[in-house]
C-alpha cells in the first residue's frame, strides 16, 4: 500500500466540503467569503469553472489563513501538477485514476478520488487516497459505509453527489469523515442569490454535522 496523507485536522473538525462551480473563477471570492462566515472552510474549486488555476493564488492570498482551498474535477496528471503548483490544499477527482493519486502521494497532498463500486473505491484506497469520494452518493445511501467497511474496515469515505442537509447527518453517523455538498448548499449563490442566506445554510449544515458526530 502506498503512503497516504491523512485528512486535515480542519476537515475532520468541520466535516463539510463545499463544491463550487461557476462560469468563471472570478465569481468565487464573495461566495468563499460567505461560506467561511458560516463555518464551512474546506472549499473545492472545480476545474469545470474557467480560470481556477489562475485565480487560486489570489484566493489563497485573501482567504488562505481562514480556509483550505482544494481543486476538484481533476482528470489528468497535468491538471494535478498544475493545481498543486498553484497551492491547492488537496485534489478531488471524479474518477479513480492511479497516476493522479501517485502525483498527490509523491508530493504529500491529500487526494480524494471518486468512485462508486467496491472495486473502484478499493483501488483508490490502496493507491494511497486520503479518503475515497463515493459518487454519486445518492445512488447508494449512508448504509453503504457499513457495507464497504465489511471487507475494507479502514476505508475513509466522503459522499458526494445528491447529499443535502437532510442526508448529511446520516452519512456522518455512518462514519463518513465529511460530506461533500454542491447545489444543496450553494443554492443560487452564483446567479444573484442572497449571500446572507448562503451563510445561514452553511451555519445550518455545520450544526447538523456537528450534532451527528456526537451521537
List, for residues 15-49, the tens digit of each pLDDT value.
Answer: 999 999 999 999 999 999 999 999 999 999 999 99
User: What is the pLDDT at residue 215?
Assistant: 78
User: What is the pLDDT at residue 126?
Assistant: 97
Is pLDDT above 90 for 50?
yes
Please state whether the predicted TM-score (pTM) of the whole model is above 0.85. Answer: yes
Q: Which strands make up the sheet holding 114-115, listed edge to edge? A: 114-115, 132-134, 157-159
As a whole number of angstroms, the distance between CA 37 and CA 174 comes to: 27
Mean pLDDT value across the chain? 97
Domains of the chain: 9-213 (3.20.20.70)
As a whole number of angstroms, the distance between CA 177 and CA 16 comes to: 9
User: What is the pLDDT at residue 2?
Assistant: 66
- Cell reading at 3: 503512503
How many CB atoms within 10 Å of residue 215?
7
Please tell me whether residue 122 adopts helix, strand or coil conformation. Answer: helix
Is pLDDT above 60 for 162?
yes
Question: Residues of the chain with pLDDT > 90: what percent?
Answer: 96
Contact 66, 59 (CB under 8 A): no
Amino acid at each position: 500500500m502506498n503512503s497516504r496523507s491523512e485528512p486535515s485536522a480542519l476537515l475532520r473538525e468541520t466535516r463539510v466540503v463545499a463544491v463550487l462551480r461557476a462560469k468563471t473563477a472570478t465569481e468565487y471570492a464573495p461566495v468563499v467569503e460567505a461560506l467561511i462566515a458560516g463555518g464551512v472552510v474546506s472549499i473545492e474549486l472545480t476545474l469545470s469553472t474557467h480560470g481556477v488555476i489562475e485565480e487560486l493564488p489570489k484566493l489563497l492570498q485573501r482567504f488562505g489563513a481562514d480556509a483550505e482551498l482544494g481543486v476538484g474535477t481533476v482528470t489528468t496528471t497535468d491538471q494535478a501538477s498544475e493545481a498543486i503548483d498553484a497551492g491547492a490544499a488537496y485534489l478531488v477527482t471524479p474518477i479513480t485514476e492511479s497516476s493522479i493519486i501517485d502525483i498527490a502521494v509523491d508530493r504529500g497532498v491529500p487526494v480524494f478520488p471518486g468512485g462508486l463500486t467496491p472495486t473502484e473505491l478499493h483501488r483508490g484506497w490502496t493507491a494511497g487516497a486520503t479518503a475515497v469520494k463515493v459518487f454519486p452518493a445518492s445512488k447508494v445511501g449512508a448504509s453503504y459505509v457499513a457495507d464497504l467497511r465489511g471487507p475494507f474496515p479502514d476505508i475513509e469515505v466522503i459522499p458526494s453527489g445528491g447529499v443535502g442537509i437532510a442526508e448529511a447527518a446520516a452519512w456522518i453517523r455512518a462514519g463518513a469523515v465529511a460530506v461533500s455538498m454542491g447545489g444543496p448548499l450553494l443554492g443560487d449563490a452564483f446567479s444573484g442569490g442572497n449571500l446572507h442566506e448562503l451563510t445561514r445554510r452553511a451555519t445550518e449544515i455545520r450544526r447538523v454535522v456537528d450534532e451527528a458526530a456526537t451521537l
